[in-house]
Chains A and B, each alone.
Chain A
Amino acid sequence: MANKLLDKVEIPQDRYEMRFSGSGGQGMILATVMLAEAIGATDDRNVVQSQSYGPEARGGASKSDVVISANEIFYPKAMQLDFLLVMTQESMDKYYSDLKEGGILVVDTTLVTDIPTDNYYGLPFTRLAREEAGHIMVANVIALAAIAEITGIISKDALTAAVLKRAPKGTEEKNKKAIEIGFAEAAKLKKQKGS
């Protein structure tokens, strides 16, 4: 009798559940807001975004979940991740087990070195931001663009519009560059992986 019901039930397949995780200040929450707004502006899918962070302004674990569905979204947080972005080793260690089998893992290889699987997309978002885009601040946008390329969840145009809407004044060019870098690097990576 033990766990009979729990064995039978299934997490609804009509939910696409994504988590962006890192440390406070890396812009994980803002990245998910941009993604949710991009989807809301372009099509009829339902989107819920939620967040969890510590009392610190910077540092400490920070994660943000996005749930996307054609149907009404009841529970606002992820139950079994279809997608996970990790920007720190701490979030890798903490959330990898929430990713379902066959789920997509994207890793910032600048900061995460110990990865418990070979099946992931790794790009050095933080290094690319610092060295290629001109500011470490846009690492989240590079990651977001790469995610769009890898998952096909949102078009480049819609993403660009959503990013520019939320980007602070004076950072538009850096953000546009970040989007270019993210899409290009992810496309290269996909080619290498033969997908």
Chain B
Amino acid sequence: MAKKERVLVLGNQACVEGAIYAGMRFYAGYPITPSTEVAEGCARELPKIGGRFIQMEDEIGSIAAVIGASVAGLKSMTATSGPGYSLMVENIGYAYMTETPCVIVNVQRGGPSTGLPTKVSQSDTMQAQWGPHGDYTAITVAPSTILETVTETIRAFNLAERFRTPVTVLLDEVMGHSRQIISLPEPGEIEIFNRVKPTVSPEEYLPFEITENYVTPMPAYGEGYRYVITGLTHDQKGFTTNKPEEIAPKLHKLRHKIIDYKDEITKLRAEMMDDAEIAFISYGSVSRAALQATDIARKVGVKVGCLQLQTIWPFPDKEIAEICGGCRKVIVGELNMGQIVNYVRSALPGDIEVVPLQRYDGEILTPMQLIEKLEEVL
């Protein structure tokens, strides 16, 4: 086999590479640091492959265009950072309700408000699940290396198409703005999932039919299937409903199409966990510090392991309990004031101590800070 080409890839560009590999052909966005290179990459690459790039008037318009393009049949994406995500939230809720597949990339910076444009943070972790109001179950993936940014973006598209739902790719400033020499996946190397299309005639088609796995086949607008899309709670035909016997099944569908198939969504990377007495639990760029700290501490005989959450939402509670079951303590490292630490706490039995390690000064946790915390709890 020919040796793969090695290229230096910026995190944000890796996201573009993954999206195009997955079949993205529409991007609408409004540039914002530290996500701008995602828009730049899409503007450069999409026209070459017959795709469309639109710079919209703002983030509200961007996500609206993304939803529209997806309904019209294209795999669609937008990228932003915290302030832009906040503007998108209303329409992201619309995408949950209308079950429109799309990918939203949030390259996190410090907040709240315009916060710290060029500084790293993980303080939008909860927003990725709880941004819009209402009952729904979000899917969020979080890579920690440049190659993973490619593969997790592909996975985000696959999950969006499989479950007919928005999926958030949670990056952070360090992820978006660091580069690494990698070899990109070859065509065919990673499986691509495309949304299931209806096999029934347009007359028989129910656009929000509650199927066996809750996911309804989705035609593209213009293919002859005419139906209503509304953010109001709707019946299986898509028409607004106020009937309790139709409201509950719709909400049940939104939740159970995801939660009942969590095994297809959950992904974790466990390193040196087999005999670990203490575990670092983290996601995103912090996992790189945690892996380094684990490597360093193992060399002097400390039985420590590293667990990276590549899926953050739905929260992988069962898997964390399984992998960390033999630990005495876990250290949860985050670049915020504690957004997953209580989820970890409720996932684990009471005799495993959960120790938070939080940094929120615009800098990444260092391996030595993790080792200091390890020292404290040994």
Inter-subunit contact A40/B375 (CB<8 Å):
no
Q: Complex formed: what's the CA distance from A53 to B374 in Å?
A: 30
- Identify which of B181, B299, B366, B374 gathers the most chain A CB atoms within 10 Å of its CB: B181
Chain A nearest CB: distance from B125 CB in Å? 20
- A33 close to B (CB within 8 Å): yes
Specify the chain B residue showing the minimal Cβ separation from A29.
Answer: B177
A47-B8 contact in complex given A6-B371, A74-B292, A79-B368, C-beta closer than 8 Å: yes
Inter-subunit contact A50/B297 (CB<8 Å):
no
Per DSSP, chain A at the interface is mixed
- A122 close to B (CB within 8 Å): no
Contacts of B378 in A (CB 8 A): 5
- B7 close to A (CB within 8 Å): yes
Chain A nearest CB: distance from B335 CB in Å? 13
Contacts of B64 in A (CB 8 A): none
Which among B17-25, B67-75, B252-260, B283-291 touches the partner chain?
Answer: B283-291
Inter-subunit contact B288/A50 (CB<8 Å):
no
Which residue of A33, A39, A55 contacts B118 across the interface (Cβ within 8 Å)? A55
Inter-subunit contact B174/A75 (CB<8 Å):
no
A48-B179 contact in complex given A5-B297, A55-B118, A79-B368, C-beta closer than 8 Å: yes
- A4 close to B (CB within 8 Å): yes
Contacts of B342 in A (CB 8 A): none
Inter-subunit contact B8/A79 (CB<8 Å):
no
Inter-subunit contact B300/A77 (CB<8 Å):
no
- A103 close to B (CB within 8 Å): no
Inter-subunit contact A49/B8 (CB<8 Å):
yes
Contacts of A76 in B (CB 8 A): 174, 178, 180, 285, 288
**B144-181 interface mask toward A, CB cutoff 8 Å, 1 = contact, 0 = none?**
00000000000000000000000000000010011111
A50-B178 contact in complex given A33-B8, A36-B8, A37-B8, C-beta closer than 8 Å: yes
Q: Complex formed: what's the CA distance from A76 to B147 in Å?
A: 13
Interface size counted on chain B using CB atoms at 8 A: 32
A12-B295 contact in complex given A6-B375, A75-B288, C-beta closer than 8 Å: yes
Contacts of B174 in A (CB 8 A): 50, 76-77
Specify the chain B residue showing the minimal Cβ separation from A37.
Answer: B8
Chain B nearest CB: distance from A127 CB in Å? 30
Chain A nearest CB: distance from B372 CB in Å? 6
Specify the chain A residue showing the minimal Cβ separation from B289.
Answer: A75
- B364 close to A (CB within 8 Å): yes
Inter-subunit contact B7/A5 (CB<8 Å):
no
- B296 close to A (CB within 8 Å): yes
Which residue of B288, B289, B371 contacts A9 across the interface (Cβ within 8 Å)? B371
Inter-subunit contact A10/B117 (CB<8 Å):
no
Which residue of A39, A41, A47, A74 contacts B288 across the interface (Cβ within 8 Å)? A74
Contacts of B305 in A (CB 8 A): none
Q: Complex formed: what's the CA distance from A107 to B181 in Å?
A: 28
Q: Complex formed: what's the CA distance from A155 to B374 in Å?
A: 42
**A36-61 interface mask toward B, CB cutoff 8 Å, 1 = contact, 0 = none?**
11011100011111111111000000
Chain A nearest CB: distance from B177 CB in Å? 6
A41-B299 contact in complex given A36-B181, A55-B117, A76-B288, C-beta closer than 8 Å: no
Contacts of B368 in A (CB 8 A): 6, 79
- B367 close to A (CB within 8 Å): yes
Chain B nearest CB: distance from A91 CB in Å? 17
Specify the chain B residue showing the minimal Cβ separation from A40.
Answer: B181
Contacts of A37 in B (CB 8 A): 8
A51-B296 contact in complex given A76-B288, A79-B366, C-beta closer than 8 Å: no
Contacts of B374 in A (CB 8 A): 5
- A8 close to B (CB within 8 Å): yes
Q: Complex formed: what's the CA distance from A46 to B146 in Å?
A: 12
Contacts of B295 in A (CB 8 A): 12, 74
Contacts of B8 in A (CB 8 A): 33, 36-37, 40, 47, 49
- B302 close to A (CB within 8 Å): yes
- A117 close to B (CB within 8 Å): no
Q: Complex formed: what's the CA distance from A125 to B372 in Å?
A: 40
- B33 close to A (CB within 8 Å): yes
A5-B179 contact in complex given A36-B8, A49-B8, A53-B118, C-beta closer than 8 Å: no
Inter-subunit contact A47/B367 (CB<8 Å):
no
Instruction: List 6 A–B pairs whose Cβ atoms lie within 8 Å, in order of A's numbering.
Output: A33-B179, A49-B180, A51-B177, A55-B33, A74-B291, A74-B367
Closest 8 CB pairs of A and B: A75-B292, A50-B178, A74-B292, A40-B181, A74-B291, A5-B375, A49-B179, A8-B300
Add 5 more A-B contacts to A37-B8, A46-B180, A74-B288 (CB < 8 A): A5-B300, A6-B368, A49-B180, A75-B291, A76-B285
